[in-house]
A = this chain, B = another copy of it.
Amino acid sequence: MTARTAPTRVRLKPEERRAQLIDIGLRLLTTRPIHEMSVDEVAAGAGISRGLLFHYFPSKRDHYVAVVRAGGRRLLTHAEAPEEGTPTERVRGIVDGFVSFVQRRRSNYVAVVRAAAGGDELVLEVFEENREVLTDRVLEAAGVHVPTPLHRLAVRGWPAMAEEMAPGATDEVVTGPELVDLLVGGLERIVERFAADRR
């Protein structure tokens, strides 16, 4: 087998090509900020022309919004509560999935979800939607069926705290499970604090 300098162009179905271009975007984002990601690089990674990329994504922005959306969806797939269990066990499932996702994909995560949030209305919207889904999941798992706005606000803060702490949580400082305990404990106290507001 000889060394290749460029990937060979392979014929893919439209939805496969789209998924491939999003994957390449997610991979490139681990090495540079989103606004420096070039459409040419993405196209080259797939072995297609710039023009063909624009067939799948009408603009550079459409591509990167799709990348951010895909990154958010992957995160949400990980941060899910088990169907059965006590409220603590179910909240723990969400927090554990979130923390391990962020720890495994630190630079990717920061690039996609966080840094992007400052730059573009549409990306901010995707980011906000993800935060809302996480908030709903935690409240549902914790057994708060009619959350007050204050419940929502208080619970909304935890992913920000978790994403700040996850990268610093090396085994010498705190193990992954210990960090998860800490965050779950904090969330439970927040929920208890507003227990009187439940209707």
Contact = CB atoms under 8 A, between A and B. Distances in A.
Interface of A: 33-36, 110-111, 114-120, 131, 149-150, 153-154, 156-165, 168-169, 172-174, 182, 185-186, 189-190, 193
Contacts of A120: 33
Dominant SS at the A interface? Answer: helix
Contact of A115 (B115, B150, B182): B115
Contacts of A158: 161
A168 B182 contact: no
Q: How often does this chain occur in the complex, in copies?
A: 2
B156 A119 contact: no
The 10 closest A-B pairs by CB, nearest first: A115-B118, A157-B161, A160-B164, A33-B119, A160-B160, A161-B161, A149-B173, A157-B165, A157-B164, A153-B168
Contacts of A154: 165, 182
Nearest to A173: B149
Contact of A189 (B116, B162, B189): B189
A164 B156 CA distance: 7
A150 B162 contact: no
